[in-house]
Chains A and B, each alone.
Chain A
Amino acid sequence: GAVVSQHPSRVICKSGTSVKIECRSLDFQATTMFWYRQFPKQSLMLMATSNEGSKATYEQGVEKDKFLINHASLTLSTLTVTSAHPEDSSFYICSARAASGRSQETQYFGPGTRLLVL
């Protein structure tokens, strides 16, 4: 089945620093990748949608200058949390949809990155 990886799995940083999270589709090409955020005991909230080679589309209320998304290739998207603050502490999950084939119907999720900002 389709595999999506994320790195790092866990990160602790100081307030004011920036953190980059990588999302890779390992065995398929993904034209579209999605970034979600999940707070404890809550559901996944879509932050932004990124398409390879174009600017990301952000959901209402998500600051594009704070959450920088780059989708440079068909297998890699990155999310950079700039000037992180404690309220940005959350579980960040990416997902990817295949460019073609049966997998195109499904979004596959990465294992998530737990961010703690001190």
Chain B
Amino acid sequence: GQNIDQPTEMTATEGAIVQINCTYQTSGFNGLFWYQQHAGEAPTFLSYNVLDGLEEKGRFSSFLSRSKGYSYLLLKELQMKDSASYLCAVRDRSNSGYALNFGKGTSLLVTP
């Protein structure tokens, strides 16, 4: 089994930078994903890390340290539309089809 932990809620100001942390324990790590989910909608893919280091994609960056079982998602130049739930998910080789296991999500509120 595995545990995926991330903060429940975060609040940040428009234009600022916010970092959402995720820690995990897994027996067959095969990649870490971040998804964004707006209320009532399906998750949309943001980033994928399988090797240690930082992956940058526009205003979003994701970092992974496999030895520490740790990742973070960094959002820069926050916009109001970034208010959403951010899901950390780990792909596990021991799952059928290498299915993803999700954390409970971090609800981010961006304020003016």
Contacts and interface: CB of A to CB of B under 8 A. Distances in A.
Interface of A: 32, 34, 42-46, 49, 51, 57, 91, 93, 95, 97, 105-112, 114
A91 B100 CA distance: 17
Contacts of A110: 42
A interface SS class = strand
Query: Contact residue range for chain B?
Result: 20 to 34
Contacts of B11: none
B104 interface: yes
Given A46-B95, A51-B97, A93-B43, 11 more contacts: A32-B97, A34-B100, A45-B102, A49-B95, A57-B96, A95-B100, A105-B31, A106-B45, A107-B33, A107-B45, A108-B45
Nearest to B30: A105
A46 B42 CA distance: 14
Contacts of B99: 34, 46, 49
Contacts of B111: none
Contacts of B100: 34, 46, 95, 107
22 contacts: A32-B97, A42-B104, A43-B105, A44-B87, A44-B102, A45-B102, A46-B95, A49-B97, A49-B99, A93-B42, A95-B100, A105-B31, A105-B48, A105-B50, A106-B33, A106-B45, A107-B33, A107-B45, A108-B45, A109-B35, A109-B44, A112-B42
